[in-house]
Amino acid sequence: MLSRLLISGLFAGAAAGLIAALLQLYFVQPVLLHAELYESGELVHFGAQAVSAHQDIGGIDLVRDGLSVVFTMLTYTGYAFILLVLMAIAEMRGATVNGRTGLIWGLAGFVAFHFAPGFTLAPEVPGVAAADVYARQIWWWATVLSASAGLWLIAFGGNWLAWGSAAVLLLAPHVIGAPEPDSFTGPVPTEIGALFASRAFGVGMAAWLLLGCFAGFFWQREGARISSIQTA
């Protein structure tokens, strides 16, 4: 079981993480670098002179971009292990785990780790006003855990009490509310912030769907390989 988990997690996480990193470099990073021009004061949005929306943000930085790829692969490998542990528990309860059903697991992971916390605490570009980072981290983790438990109850609860509890778990963090700054400030145009949030969600969904698909595929393949060795 352990070798099956390790092999599946490493392959699925590395593959999904690499694709996620490339998508981030192409779609998300240019928006961040553009926002940093306003954060540093190199560009000023509010003034009499109109500012072009097309700016030179530089080319590829091998060290920065290479480290970004490595860290993203490591992050998604960690996500893969979490996902596979839950898949293994579900399989012991009679659920089918493969590449196709893995898409559903990936979508659930996106909802728990991206959409649920982002619904109230949206992805932010550099330079915007924000509440205390520790308070936001606590709220973020509480929301992820609450959403994960809610989704598990929806999938495996099997009765109205479980589904009602799931609804409470999904809604509670947003009813309580995320930590907010005392005032809204920031030099970055709202169009850039909106584009960053939408692309962060889009890339996150694509990456989690791929992660779920890869995790389910490798989990099924490793299980079949181990079974063939044991019966040989």
DSSP code string of 54-89? --------HHHHHHHHHHHHHHHHHHHHHHHHHHHH
For 96: left if phi > 0, alpha if psi spans -120 to 50, otherwise beta; the answer is: beta
Whether residue 217 is predicted with pLDDT greater than 90 in this model: the reply is yes
Q: What is the pLDDT of residue 184?
A: 74
- DSSP type of residue 197: H
> Which residues are CB-neighbours of 121 under 8 A, at least 6 positions away?
136, 139, 140, 143, 178, 179
Per-residue pLDDT tens over the stretch 178-204: 998 877 777 888 888 899 999 999 999
Q: With cut-offs at 50, 70 and 90, classify the pLDDT of residue 102.
A: very high
pLDDT of residue 151 exceeding 60, the answer is yes
Look at residue 181 in the predicted model and tell me its pLDDT: 84
**Cα gap 45→196, rounded to integer Å:** 17
Q: What is the mean pLDDT of residues 68-88?
A: 96
What are 49's two structure tokens?
């002179």
Across the range 110-119, mean pLDDT stands at: 96
What's the pTM?
Answer: 0.91
Provide the pLDDT for residue 153.
96
Give the C-alpha distances (Å, rounded to integers) separating 27 from 3, 14, 34, 79, 141: 35, 20, 12, 22, 26
Instruction: Read off the tokens for 191.
Output: 């169009």
- pLDDT score, position 152: 96
Across the range 157-170, mean pLDDT stands at 95
Is the Cα torsion angle 167, 169, 170, 173 positive or negative in sign? positive
pLDDT score, position 50: 66
Instruction: For residue 6, give every residue at least 6 positions away whose Cβ sits within 8 Å of its Cβ, in sequence order, or none.
Output: none
Asked whether residue 131 carries a pLDDT value surpassing 60, the answer given is yes
Q: What is the pLDDT of residue 127?
A: 78
The residue-averaged pLDDT of 128-142 equals 90
Is the Cβ–Cβ distance between 128 and 193 less than 8 Å?
Answer: yes
* Length reported for the chain: 232
Amino acid at 138: I
User: Is 210 buried (19+), middle (13-18) or exposed (0-12) by CB count in 10 A?
Assistant: buried
What's the average model confidence in pLDDT over 137-165?
Answer: 95
Whether 41 contacts 187, CB under 8 Å: yes
